[in-house]
Amino acid sequence: MTLDQIDDFLEQVAALKTVTGVCGEGGESFTQYNLLVQFLRRATALGLTAGALTNASWVASRPQAEGRIAELMAAGLTNLGVSTDQYHQKSVPVERVDLLLAVCQEAGLSAARMETPPDGVMFRGRAAERLAPQMPTRPAEELASCPHEQLGAPSRVHLDRYGFLHLCQGLTLGRLPIADAVGGYDPESHPIVRLLLNGGPYCAMPLCRRPGVRDGTRICGCVPSLLPRQGVSAPPLPRSSRAGRDVRPVRATAILRSGRSRLPLSSWNFAPLPMV
């Protein structure tokens, strides 16, 4: 994203007058550090609280970390999430995470260590294909609800660099402008959300074999670990959908363009992804 695009997004957020804060995520937000600083300044000037997420891969020394945290706090940073897990620690030593958290504490910045044990990780994107097969399986019928997001009444969304607003990565609410996307969201008519609300990922699995579904995509982080390829049977499919192929799940990128909003907009907290 460019600075002009970020400005336009933040102005739309502020115009809603119901959003309290934004957060720079990724990917790794610090790979575009100068843009992150400007994002924080613009958000703060509009009266929004501004946070960021990082995996601490950029931390090279204490003086460097101290300098960046001081600059970011001056720009308006109010909180920082620092993520780590056993998979990322192979490329990002945990000592960098510990050092960054210590620097934040000394500077008076609210910072949280975001570490999830392997059995609690929700695999998304490439991780779903590479790591999920290594985890223990369970009956597909148990995935009867989505435990990760409140899809019926979301409290946050994610903005990608292409202008799509995601309820969960890959599951889109709509596209900018924000007012149109929010006003057009009806969870009971959304082609993917309605299935997840009424039966969870298990209920949505028949979409994997619909004609026209691209191979090599996915429906959400839960479904790939339940594919027949990994020894778990999918739910029965309508006769017209049984193609007899080993088809992978579809990426949930349906865009809803009509319908009435049922969202409590006062609870929305937009989390943009300007750094990807």
pTM: 0.70
Q: How far is CA 97 from CA 31, 100, 115, 254, in A?
A: 16, 5, 10, 37
Q: Which domains does the chain have, with CATH numbers?
A: 3-121 (3.20.20.330), 143-154+169-234+247-263 (no CATH)
pLDDT tens for each residue of the chain, 276 residues long: 788 989 999 999 999 888 899 999 877 899 999 999 999 999 999 999 999 999 999 999 999 999 999 999 999 999 999 998 877 778 899 999 999 999 999 999 999 998 877 666 666 666 666 777 777 777 878 888 887 788 888 888 888 888 888 888 778 888 889 888 888 889 998 888 998 898 888 887 777 666 654 444 444 444 433 333 333 333 333 332 323 333 232 222 222 222 233 333 333 333 333 333
Contacts of 79 (CB under 8 A, 6+ apart): 49, 51, 52, 109, 110, 111, 112
